[in-house]
C-alpha cells in the first residue's frame, strides 16, 4: 500500500470517530483552517511538525494529530494516561519504552503503547517519519511530558 493510501486511510478512519457531536452531523476540519505548526522544542529534539490536530467533542475522548519528524528528531520521554496508538504513514523510525529495547517502525506499522508507559518515538538517523498519533483525554490531559531522550539512548546504546 502506498504512503498516500495509508495517510488517506488513517485520516478517513480518524475523521469518522473524532468528529461525532450531539447533532449527529458530519463535521469536516479543513486543512487550510488547521495548518501545520512547529512542535514545541520543550517536548521534542530536532524538527517536528504537527498537522491535522483534532479533538473529539464529549462524550468522545479521542485526540490526535499527524506528526512528522525530520531525520534524528524525536519526542521527549512521556506517558499517556489512557495509552497511545501510532499509525506510521511515511518513513521509518523508532519507539522505545523505558527499560526496553529500541524498536524499528516503518510504513504501515501500528504501535500500541499501554497507559502510563514511559516511552519515546521519532525518526531514524537517516530517514524522516510521519505517523498519526491517537490518544484519549482523561481529566483534561492526554500526555505527561518528561526529560529529553539522550543521544546515546536514541542511538540504541
Tens digit of pLDDT at every position of the chain (157 positions): 555 544 444 444 444 444 444 567 888 888 888 889 999 999 999 999 999 888 888 888 999 999 999 999 999 999 999 999 999 999 999 999 999 999 999 999 999 999 999 999 999 999 999 999 999 999 999 999 999 999 999 998 8
Cell output for 75: 519526542
| Alpha helices, DSSP H, located in the chain | 3-18, 151-154
Measured distance CA(8)–CA(5) in Å, rounded: 5
For strands 119-123 and 84-97, give the pairing: antiparallel
Go through the domains of the chain in sequence order and give each one's CATH number: 3-19+44-154 (2.60.120.10)
- Prediction pTM value: 0.82
Beta carbons within 8 Å of 49's beta carbon, 6+ residues apart: 36, 37, 38, 39, 67, 68
Measured distance CA(53)–CA(135) in Å, rounded: 11
Amino acid at each position: 500500500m502506498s504512503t498516500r493510501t495509508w495517510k488517506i486511510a488513517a485520516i478517513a478512519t480518524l475523521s469518522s470517530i473524532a468528529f461525532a457531536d450531539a447533532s449527529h452531523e458530519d463535521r469536516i476540519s479543513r486543512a487550510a483552517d488547521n495548518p501545520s505548526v512547529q512542535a514545541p522544542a520543550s517536548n521534542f529534539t530536532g524538527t517536528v511538525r504537527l498537522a491535522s490536530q483534532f479533538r473529539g467533542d464529549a462524550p468522545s475522548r479521542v485526540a490526535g494529530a499527524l506528526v512528522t519528524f525530520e531525520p534524528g528528531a524525536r519526542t521527549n520521554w512521556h506517558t499517556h494516561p489512557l495509552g497511545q496508538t501510532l499509525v506510521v504513514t511515511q518513513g521509518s523510525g523508532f519507539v522505545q519504552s523505558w527499560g526496553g529495547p529500541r524498536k524499528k517502525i516503518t510504513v504501515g506499522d501500528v504501535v500500541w503503547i499501554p497507559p502510563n508507559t514511559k516511552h519515546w518515538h521519532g525518526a531514524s538517523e537517516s530517514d524522516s517519519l510521519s505517523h498519526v498519533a491517537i490518544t484519549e483525554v482523561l481529566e483534561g490531559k492526554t500526555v505527561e511530558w518528561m526529560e529529553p531522550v539522550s543521544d546515546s539512548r536514541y542511538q540504541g546504546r
